Amino acid sequence: MTEKRAIVTGGSTGIGRGLVKALSDAGYRVAFTYHASTEAAETLEAEITGARAFQCDAGDADQVAACHASVAKALGGVPDLLVNNAGIQTWSPLLDLAAEDFDRVIRTNLRGCFLNTQAAGRAMRDAGVAGSIVNIGSGCNKLGFPRLADYAASKGGIEQLTKVAAMELGPHGIRVNCVAPGAIATDRTAEEADGYADKWAALTPLGRVGTPEDVAGPVLFFASDAAQFVTGQTLYVDGGVFSRAPWPDYDL
Ligand code: NDP
C-alpha cells in the first residue's frame, strides 16, 4: 500500500495505544494526541518507528486547530484518517451528577470529536484528500447504562454527529463511521471494577472481553478501500453483548 497518514486522538493509552500500533503495522505514518499522559506518550513515540506525539486538549478549539496543522507538517501531508478516540468517563447517579462533571465529559468526548472532525474535514477538503474519519463510540450509543448519564449523552451525540458529518463530508469524498466497542480490557477498565473482565465475559456471547486489537480491525476496515461505499454507519465491536436482549430466567 502507498504510505498513508493517520491521526489518533488520545493515543497514548488503552484502545488508542492499540490503534497507533495497529495503524503503524498496517503501513500508516501515525500521529497521536495525548492530554496528561506525557510519559506514556513519549514511551509509545519511542516504540513505534515514525510515530509522533502531540499534546492537545481535544476540547480546546485553538489547540485542536494548531495540532492538526502541526501533524500535517510533521507527517508530510494531511492525514487520510482521523480516529476520534479520546474519551473520559465519570460514574454518578443522575440525581447526584455534578454539572461540572457533565460539562467536562461532554467537552472532551463530544466537543472533542466535533472539533477534531471539523479540523480534519477542513484540511482533507482543502487538500483534496478523500479521507476517512472513524469515531469511537460505545454501547452507550444506543443503550441506557445507569450512572453514565454524561458519558451516554456524549456517545449518543457522537452517533448522531457521525451521521451528520457523513452527510456533509460525503460530497468531498470523506467517509465518516463509528466503531462502538463493548467491554475492552484496558488499564482503565481493569481499575473500573473488581472482576471487570470476568463479569463482562459472562455477559458476552463470544465469552470474553475484547482487546484494543479487536477494535483496531474494524477501524482499519472502515479506513480501507474495502469500505469505500460505507459511510454514516456504526459497527458494534462487542462480542455480541449489545445485541443481547434481557430475558427472564424461566423454562420454555
Ligand atoms: P483510556 O483512559 O486508556 O484512554 C482515553 C484516552 O483519552 C487517554 O489516552 C487520554 O489521554 C485521552 N484523553 C482524555 N482526555 C483528553 C483530552 N481532554 N484531550 C485529549 N485526549 C484526552 O481509556 P480507553 O482506552 O478504555 O478508552 C478509549 C476510548 O474508547 C474512549 O473514547 C472510550 O469511551 C471508548 N470505549 C472504551 C471501552 C472500553 O471498554 N475500554 C468501551 C467503549 C468505548 P491522557 O491520558 O493523556 O489524558
Banded pLDDT at 64 (limits 50, 70, 90)? very high
Q: Looking at residues 194-218, what average pLDDT do you find?
A: 97
pLDDT at res. 62? 98
Contacts of 65 (CB under 8 A, 6+ apart): 115, 119
User: Which atom of ligand 1 is nearest the CA belonging to 209?
Assistant: 40
Residue 2, pLDDT above cutoff 80: no
The band of 251, judged by pLDDT with boundaries at 50, 70 and 90, is confident
Cell of 219: 477501524
Cα 108 to averaged position of ligand 1 atoms, centre (Å): 10
Query: Angle at which helices 112-127 and 149-169 pack, to 10 degrees?
Result: 20
Ligand 1 centroid to 140 CA: how many Å?
15
Closest-lying ligand 1 atom to the alpha carbon of residue 155: 34
Q: Which CATH superfamily is domain 4-236 in?
A: NAD(P)-binding Rossmann-like Domain (3.40.50.720)
Q: Whose CA is nearest to atom 39 of ligand 1?
A: 184
Q: Do the bridges between strand 132-136 and strand 234-237 make them parallel or antiparallel, or are there none, so unpaired?
A: unpaired
Active-site pick, 151, 196, 236, 250: 151
**For ligand 1, atom 12, which residue shows the shortest CA distance?**
10
The residues that bridge with 196 in the sheet, in sequence order, are none
- Distance, in Å, from the CA atom of 146 to the CA atom of 143, rounded to the nearest integer, reads 10
Neighbours of 49 (CB within 10 A): 8
* Cβ burial, residue 107 (10 Å; 0-12/13-18/19+): middle
3-state secondary structure of 72: helix
Contact 20, 51 (CB under 8 A): yes
What's the pLDDT tens digit per position in 118-136?
A: 999 999 999 999 999 999 9
Residues 6+ apart with CB under 8 A from 158: 84, 109, 110, 113, 135, 136, 137, 141, 178
The number of the ligand 1 atom at minimal distance from the alpha carbon of 187 is 3
Question: What pLDDT shows up at residue 249?
Answer: 85
Any catalytic annotation for residue 236?
no
pLDDT at 204: 97
pLDDT mean across residues, the chain = 97
Other C-beta atoms closer than 10 Å to the C-beta of 123 total 21
Domain ranges for the chain: 4-236
Q: Which of 104, 184, 238 to mutate to test the pocket of ligand 1 (most atoms within 8 A of CB)?
A: 184
65-88 pLDDT, tens digit per residue, is: 999 999 999 999 999 999 999 999
The x, y and z cell numbers of residue 244, run together, are 443481547
Question: Ligand 1, atom 31: nearest CA belongs to which residue?
Answer: 87
Residue 1 has pLDDT above 70, yes or no: no
Q: Ligand 1 pocket: which residues have CB below 6 Å?
A: 9-10, 12-16, 33-37, 57-59, 85-88, 108, 136, 138, 181, 183-184, 186, 188-189
In this prediction, residues 89-98 reach a mean pLDDT of 98
Q: Which amino acid type is present at position 117?
A: T
Q: Where does the chain have alpha helices with state H?
A: 14-25, 38-47, 61-75, 99-105, 112-127, 149-169, 187-192, 196-203, 212-223
What CA–CA distance (Å, rounded) separates 156 from 161? 9
pLDDT in tens, 149-192: 999 999 999 999 999 999 999 999 999 999 999 999 999 999 99
Q: Ligand 1 centroid to 157 CA: how many Å? A: 17
Q: How far apart are the first and last CA of the chain?
A: 54
Q: How far is the CA of 38 from the centre of ligand 1 (A)?
A: 14
